[in-house]
Each structure stands twice: as structure tokens, then as C-alpha cells.
Chains A and B, each alone.
Chain A
């Protein structure tokens, strides 16, 4: 069975500081991994995904994530936080050979302080 753990339900950074959101996964087969962002009262938007092509994945809005199999991690980073990055971030895993049945982590609320 697949599962995801996001360390830290709330992360607070200053504008311009490094953003680091942690995600560890458990999967019985090589996983597909995703980071989604949710702004208030909106749906989920894909930031980036890992599908085994490259371990360092670049996404939208300056975010990137590195797949580390030995650590079963897929942490999300951004060098410099913007106020507009404040949102809920979800890490998700999918094992399927068909479609995108996602198992989500519990989410991390990112606050960006001026």
C-alpha cells in the first residue's frame, strides 16, 4: 500500500527566504510523485511531478523537488519565497499503471511573512 507523510502541518517563512516543504513516501513499487498547491476556496493545481525521467524535477512558479529513493523523500523547495506562495501544499503518490489514483499527505500550510 502507498502512503505519504508531510512533516510539518504549518511552515512559516519570511519573504525572500528559502521554502522547504518535506514529503516522505511509502510505496511497494516505483512510485509516481506529485506536489499540488491549493489556494483558498480553490481546487488543486499541479506544481510538479516525478515520473522516473529525472530525479530533480522543476515545476511552475520557481518550485522544484528532488526524488531521493534511498531516503524515500520528495521534498519541495523554492529559493526565494513570495507573498503569493502562501497556500496549502499537498504531496501525493500514485502507484498505478492506469490513471492517477492519488494518495495524499495531510498537507502543509505555508505562510509567508513580509
Chain B
């Protein structure tokens, strides 16, 4: 059983389209995250949800909208895709306690053409 699973693994789309990435964790964690890894492999947090409530929203364009239907799922919807959105997006989850290990999904490689 995959602990944190994301779909799709690869996503190629045209500029201006709207797309979603889904994430599910079966670890029973309360907290889920979205990270973005750019072409230089730099990782930066985008959002964090705790028990379906948004607790971290970094300076991300409002074209990006996370949605958490329940604490096991955190989806990422992106409107009006731009070339600069091309990256690998990682979902992760952890327990709520400070210093808890984050478990990462396999990533979704988004290419905007």
C-alpha cells in the first residue's frame, strides 16, 4: 500500500488550461502539504492543511487553490496555467506534532506547453 499517493504522475497541458492534481494518504495523519520543486530541484512549501483547515499559504498565486474534502485528501487545482507553473509538485503528510516526519508522494511532473 502506497502511503501517500498522487495522481497523475505526469501531466502535459497547454497554457491557459485548468488542471487538478489529487493526493491521498492512508497514514492517518492530520496534516497535509503541497510542495513545489522547480527545474533546479529547489523545494518550497506552497500550502499546509491541518484537519481540512488551511494553516499555511505561502506567496502562491491565487490561480492555485487547494481543496481538502477530508483529512486524508488534499487536492491542488490550478487555473489558467502558465509556462512558469511547469515543475514537480509533491504532496506530503505528517502527524501534527512538532518535528514530525513528513512522508512524500512520488510527485506529479507538470509540463505546460
Q: Does B70 contact A (CB under 8 A)?
A: no
Residues of A within 8 A of B30 (CB): 99
The chain A residues found within 8 Å of chain B, CB to CB, are: 32, 34, 36, 38, 41-46, 49, 51, 88, 90, 94, 96-104, 106-107
**How far apart are B94's CB and chain A's nearest CB, in angstroms?**
4
A to B contact number (C-beta, < 8 Å): 76
**How far apart are B33's CB and chain A's nearest CB, in angstroms?**
7
| A90-B43, A100-B94, A104-B43 given; A42·B107 CB < 8 A | yes
The chain B residues found within 8 Å of chain A, CB to CB, are: 4, 30-31, 33, 35, 40-45, 48, 50, 55-56, 90, 92, 94-107
Q: List 17 A-B contacts (CB under 8 A).
A: A38-B41, A42-B106, A44-B104, A46-B102, A49-B99, A49-B101, A98-B31, A98-B50, A98-B55, A99-B97, A99-B100, A100-B31, A100-B99, A100-B101, A101-B33, A101-B48, A102-B43
